[in-house]
Chains A and B, each alone.
Chain A
Amino acid sequence: MTQRLGLDSAAVAEARKLAAEAGRPIVDLARTHTTVSVERAVLRLAGLDGADDEGMPWVNRLADAVRGSAGLEHGIALPAWDAMVTGGYPDLAALATDAAAGRVTFRVPEGDAAGAAARAARLAVGRGIAVIDARRAERARLLADPGDPPKPWIYLIVATGDIYEDIPQAQAAAREGADIIAVIRSTGQSLLDYVPEGATREGYAGTYATRENFRLMRAALDEVSRELGRYVRLTNYASGLCMPEIAALAGLERLDMMLNDCMYGIIFRDINPVRTFIDQRFSRQVHARAGIIINTGEDNYLTTADAVDAAHTVVVSQLLNEYFGREAGLAGWQLGLGHAFEINPAVPDSFLLELAHAQLIRELFPDAPLKYMPPTKHMTGNVFAGYLLDAFFNLCGMMTGQSILLIGMMTEGIHTPFLSDRDLALENVRYVRQAAGRLGESFRPEPGGFIERRAAHVLTEAVALLRKIGTGGLLTAIGDGTFGITRRPADGGRGLDGVIERAEGYLNPATEILEAGG
């Protein structure tokens, strides 16, 4: 990617250094704590699936039982596999059934018993990681044949609530040109402290993320990928209270991209900040291993705050997401940092401002598959004006080399897109790509001109905000309402009761394997 804005490299380096300083205490927190969902993800990687008669997953039943007797301070692996070994259970499902019925007393094993439990746990979890590795290799083969589509990848959303309706819609969208299908989750799933089971047909404004739904949709897209001669990627959400478990399921079922932001759940869903950061680190370690591209959610800040005034908060969040992502082992090509085209079209020079922001982010993160989000806030219901705005969004995305274009809908905010809305939106992007796809080659902002000055200004503001965060720490900044506009104190929000400080001798076989790499 050519550098066109003459950015001050010292300012860029300082911004990265400050982001790392702000993030480091958070990483320390994540290294010294665990959560109920991280421990349940260990069970999922070890092959425990399914739910009881009430639909409550066995991983929840088992984790609750262990927490109730032995505690989770040492991790779930030691007490669970100690019970497996000493109780002579054939598998985790049998143990979970007994544990849920109150027939198992768990302990934290010591000495030889601890060694035996750890060996058994490592073996079981290792098998799950091996499945994730095999899925990644399978994706690599499919990217070679039928093949990887050229960027920008066209990203489309389906959200009927019924997986069996989603499938034909997703296949139709792929045939019409979508490179990536995202299945939006049902409203409220992020606040469930368990992952629903099975194929689901009743979601509200979206479809539940379940392992079976993942499997069904991936199989349908594999079918259409062969038909079209290009690999169609599948996206879902590793966010909310079950982020680590959903990350594990995504890896096991070969999802390709996952929404996974460092602060989204905190700001927009009032999930406890500490819980979020711990869950996030584990989920990113899994994504790194699975070859999954994460999508971060900076576009959301601009739906609450003004897109001009808050442009620098997007950059700050991207730098934090980059730091946390890299620390968790994600490669540059896996960091799908997000941003959006949300400036009020009534603002003079709004398109120049959009170009400045988009080009700034392109140059700050040259390796990242940037995800560019279309206008939503200033879509008024005038579908004709909205269609025009979407065309300008597409043009800006082409000119500044964005990697993933979420396709804007002229009926944004009116209804879930009609079949025809999606078709028209794809016609729009096809036209812009064909007419101006190579315009970026000749895009040279005037040195010292409006675009260059605007980009430099946003970078300066980002550095200033990072300095401010540095003095009080990131948790304090979030508590003070620095991002979005909402205050989220570290001891507030949902899910704090699921955070557990690790004790001496804590064992997590998944983290061990993921941190060892290989």
Chain B
Amino acid sequence: MTVIRPYGDTTGDGRVQLSFTLPVRFGDATERARAEGAALQLAAKMGLEPAMVVHAKGMGPDFTYFIVYGRVSHLVDLSQVTVSEREFALLPPGEVNLRIRSALGRELVVVGACIGTDAHTVGIDAILNVKGHAGEKGLEYYREIRVVNLGAQVLVPELVSRARAERADAVLVSQVVTQKDAHLANTRQLSAAFRAAYPDQAAAGRARPVLVVGGPRFDPAMAGDLGVDRVFGRGTTPAEVASYLVHALARRPL
């Protein structure tokens, strides 16, 4: 069956539950009736008909909270569901650690920095610091990842030499400032410098580090154009970066 409806307690009953707040007063009887009417109107516009307000509660003088049950009229066509897949699987920290151990037999070394004149370390810190971001711990939290966070305003040659000295597996660069497309120019400078520094990928027995850049104004489709391996945009979490690194390193001869 490719066309389905929500299931309450009977096939095809279409029953769903919903809770929301409206900025309406829930005071005297008239106000209460008006508030519930408003909730039912919203439910109907969302495709819930018939709907029932099973709970309404005033929150302060200006708001009312509702719990609504109803029958949703919409159908779901499973053949029309498209799944956009990342090129890599999102892994929990334990799995990331395990894969690093079995693939490398040592810690994975990540060198991170903000380059150019960009002093905004919020992004790189959110990905690298234990504190992390959006409820996820940063890469420092991963036992099998060694993080070297160079901080802000790092010059590209300095980054290249630190990456070499630390035998970095990956280099993470965050760019927040976008005036005059500084983030794009800086990233091209970065990729050119790493290409120059690691001309023969097999020579040292190690490939050049995986180059990753990120920032709120980057388009992930630009990786090829910028000469880096991966671009992360707004809202990226540490787990995504960690999972990507495992994926990228597993594909490479070491």
Contact = CB atoms under 8 A, between A and B. Distances in A.
Interface of A: 172, 175-176, 187-188, 191, 204, 267-270, 303-304, 376, 412-413, 418-420, 423-424, 484-486, 494
B143 to A, nearest CB: 7
Nearest to B119: A192
B126 A304 contact: no
Interface residues of B, number: 25
A188 B60 contact: no
29 contacts: A172-B60, A175-B60, A176-B60, A187-B122, A187-B133, A188-B120, A188-B121, A191-B121, A268-B129, A268-B131, A269-B125, A270-B129, A304-B130, A304-B137, A412-B135, A413-B134, A413-B135, A419-B59, A419-B65, A420-B19, A420-B21, A420-B65, A424-B65, A484-B130, A485-B130, A486-B130, A486-B140, A486-B141, A494-B151
A262 B25 CA distance: 46
Contacts of A270: 129, 140, 149
B7 interface: no
B23 to A, nearest CB: 9
B63 interface: yes
A423 B129 contact: no
Given A175-B60, A270-B149, A419-B21, A188 B143 contact: no
B37 to A, nearest CB: 19
A264 to B, nearest CB: 9
B141 A304 contact: yes
Interface of B: 19-21, 57, 59-60, 63, 65, 120-122, 125-126, 129-131, 133-135, 137, 140-141, 143, 149, 151
Contacts of B126: 187
A276 to B, nearest CB: 15
A177 to B, nearest CB: 12
A67 to B, nearest CB: 20
A418 B59 CA distance: 12
Contacts of B134: 413
Contact of A268 (B65, B121, B130, B149): B130
Nearest to B137: A304
A376 B130 contact: no
Given A376-B135, A420-B19, A485-B141, A267 B130 contact: yes
Contacts of B59: 176, 419-420, 423
Given A413-B134, A423-B57, 4 more contacts: A268-B129, A270-B140, A423-B65, A486-B130
B158 to A, nearest CB: 17
A412 B135 CA distance: 9
A204 B137 contact: no
A172 B63 CA distance: 11
A486 to B, nearest CB: 5
B114 to A, nearest CB: 12
